[in-house]
Amino acid sequence: MDGDALALVRASLPRLSAAEARVAEVILGDPTLVVDLAITDLARVCRTSLSTVARFAQSLGYSGYRELRVECARAVTRAQAQQERFGFDDAVIDLEDTAEAVVAKIAAQEVSAIEQTALAVDFAGIDRVASAVAAARHTELFGQGASALTAQDFRFKLARIGCSAGQSSDPHVAFASAALLSPGAVAIGISHSGETSETLRGLEIARATGATTVALTNAPESSITRLADVVLYTRARESPLRIAAMSSRIAQLALLDVLFVRVVQMRGGASAEPLRLTRDAVAPKRG
């Protein structure tokens, strides 16, 4: 199964029953327990039944507890390799960390965000969105805060290849742009939490016009997923010391870079001349 088992466990928390949530919390607290314990022993640690543990594993998309154990073992191995690679035991940033430790931990978090997002990419979903954007009369992007920066970056990329694209951080402007979309247009809403009210409203308005709606989020079962024809997921975990969106932004940019390359490929030669013209326009003049 694609994706990181621990990321799937973490993402599942909002939709779990109380008993299943205890299983998830135990696993997240010490993933090695799943690797080391039989299902009967894990059920006892979680103060629940064998059937609850089995049902929890299946709710993540695994065939059963055995497959969950295998995937958790892989996740633990990757985490251990990352710790050895960057030279620390815990990637959580602490207020007392040195500059050297902060550099190592941020590098580890951002590398992990890209790697886990890449592991979980829905290839059919990416291509469905890329095909829609490549053929669209217009693509409108919605995002607030750090997600607005991601949206701006993708809008600029689309402009470089001659695709009509828009984005505004002003909600009123964004809503007005959404209302003017029509069938054949694409609306992309970007929200790490999947619950940003302005982004939800923009996508809701766009959906009513008949535009193809796309959500890019880190949160399965979030509100934005119910407004989208296609959902693309990142797999980023922010540090508790979250001064600003870091891992989430990096994961969004990486996934949209993949989408952009697929759009360029699908447009074929139609992208070549706009790329040349825009490159020449911004190139430094000599002499």
pLDDT in tens, 3-15: 578 878 888 888 8
Are 219 and 235 contacting, i.e. CB atoms less than 8 angstroms apart?
no
Which residues, in sequence order, are bridge partners of residue 166?
A: 140
What are the C-alpha distances in Å from 208 to residues 110, 180, 201, 226, 235?
A: 36, 10, 11, 13, 29
For the chain, first and last CA: distance in Å? Answer: 57
* Per-residue pLDDT tens over the stretch 175-217: 999 999 999 999 999 999 899 999 999 999 999 999 999 999 9
Per DSSP, helices labelled H in 163-196 are 171-179
d(CA 224, CA 227): 5
The reported pLDDT for the residue numbered 240 is 45
pLDDT band at residue 256 under the 50/70/90 scheme: very high
- Give the number of residues written for the chain: 287
The upper half-sphere exposure of residue 245, i.e. CA atoms within 13 Å in the direction of its Cβ, equals 18
pLDDT band at residue 2 under the 50/70/90 scheme: very low
pLDDT at 134 over 90: yes
